[in-house]
Structure 1
């Protein structure tokens, strides 16, 4: 490790003025201020940027940005130094498994939500309040399941304490811990945002039906179409994140498995 610099955590306290990967190379600048220990800046800097971005606004374009973070993390994991570190630290693989399981379950829930929204739309077209009420109740049940998923990974949004020590091992372990914590935090925010969608359906279900109220039906259909469109985006986004988490975990497990 280069004397005079150690990457401190939380990493998100870094900004372009303090992150050595963002420092402008100048003739009078000491060499050890231009890079972070033995980690190459082309790999480290994008990952720190992705972590900082997720921490600052976790509920905006959440799944797309998680996918970007995981891609940057994958670059780090393929460094020989990262491989050596992870062979001695196995907690990250367990955290990745929990995150992957949560996203796999969320994607299944999103598919179920789409079915219930479609059922609600059909009920409106046929002016069938009983059918609509059934779809709304089913929708709310799935939303409660999603809220449960958010609760199950909430603790992963906190970076675990690191073992004492300095050096590349500690630095890489800390970076990975921060990346997974940011992923969990953003996932939790997105899950919770979805868990309140069905309140509109419950409200509509409890309103007295007015036969022939075409305007009310039109408003309801437009709302359902909007919810279905958002749901499709979430289903696709979570699917990408799930596959990326699984691939990253496979990479970790391959590092942890002794070669024959």
Structure 2
């Protein structure tokens, strides 16, 4: 009799473990790789750094070039601030936005004041040209006084721009290092261009006094050198029309008066160019600040 053998089937005691797959968890903040707009903004900031290095010749054209670059920088920043991912990132940090808004409000204020001052200068400068043609020394003297007053007002704008407000630390989740760093750089170049503009006009029209007292020869030499250095300060075209060019018109010859008149006409054109450039910067500053306010309002809406 043949035995019956049962067939047995064995199963492994443990189920095979699937190999773990390496994967990357995506952040809810801005992507690790910078947005192309940030790279474009960095290029524009680099242009302004190069511009500031060419400051040996402080001309009106140099100032206008800086204002044009600055307007482009703020336009690029505004584009970045309006990106959905940027707004989503910023709305988590209202305190940080508040600090940025303080900076932008200060810039908006000083450029608003500058617009009023430069418009007043244009009107007084036009009146001074009429006075020069008529050789009205009394009105010319009033123009010289108004320029000194403008220099003092420009010096106040310089002090306002130089006030530093610390921006809150950006090391919280949601605000990338690239975004925070590039905004810091925008504030830095805005300060640089603004100081070049306001200081330039202040130094051009300010009173340069050197007191001469009995002193040692080396001290006199130092004062002479200091005086020469002072003469180089300011904006070249503004500096060329000094008080000495405007006073005692009746004693000046026909050719000398003609040269002074031409310089005044050229300066009028440069004043208009600077006014237009600063006005474009003013508008771009307002636009960027509105974008920041929109990000803050979104954060408040999400809270509610």
The TM-score, its normalising length taken from structure 1, stands at 0.77
Residue 242 of structure 2: SS of its match in structure 1? helix
Instruction: Tell me, yes or no, if structure 1 residue 70 matches structure 2 residue 87.
Output: no
Greater relative contact order (CA < 8 Å, ≥ 6 in sequence): 2
Contact 1:85 1:172 in 2 (8 A): no
Structure 1 unaligned residues grouped into runs of 5+: 3-35
Residue 196 of structure 1: SS of its match in structure 2? helix
CA-CA distance at 1:197 after TM superposition? 3.4
Which runs of structure 2 are paired with 1:85-234 in the superposition (5 Å)? 85-87=89-91, 88=93, 89-90=96-97, 91-156=99-164, 160=167, 162-164=169-171, 168-198=175-205, 200-206=241-247, 208-211=248-251, 213-234=253-274
The TM-score, its normalising length taken from structure 2, stands at 0.67
Alignment correspondent of 2:32: 37
Post-superposition, which runs of at least 4 consecutive aligned residues in structure 1 deviate over 6 A? none
Contact 1:123 1:129 in 2 (8 A): yes
Structure 2 unaligned residues grouped into runs of 5+: 1-23, 25-30, 56-61, 206-238
Deviates more, 1:233-242 or 1:208-217: 208-217
Alignment correspondent of 1:11: none
CA-CA distance at 1:168 after TM superposition? 4.5
CA distance in structure 1 between the partners assigned to 2:279 and 2:159 by the alignment: 20
CA distance in structure 2 between the partners assigned to 1:106 and 1:79 by the alignment: 31
CA-CA distance at 1:56 after TM superposition? 2.5
Alignment correspondent of 1:7: none
Computing the radius of gyration from Cα coordinates, the structure with the larger value is 2
CA distance in structure 2 between the partners assigned to 1:138 and 1:165 by the alignment: 50
Instruction: Tell me, yes or no, if structure 1 residue 49 matches structure 2 residue 43.
Output: yes
Alignment correspondent of 1:81: 85
| RMSD of equivalent CA atoms | 2.5
CA distance in structure 1 between the partners assigned to 2:204 and 2:186 by the alignment: 28
Contact 2:89 2:174 in 1 (8 A): no
CA-CA distance at 1:154 after TM superposition? 2.1
Contact 1:162 1:170 in 2 (8 A): no
Deviates more, 1:208-217 or 1:180-189: 208-217
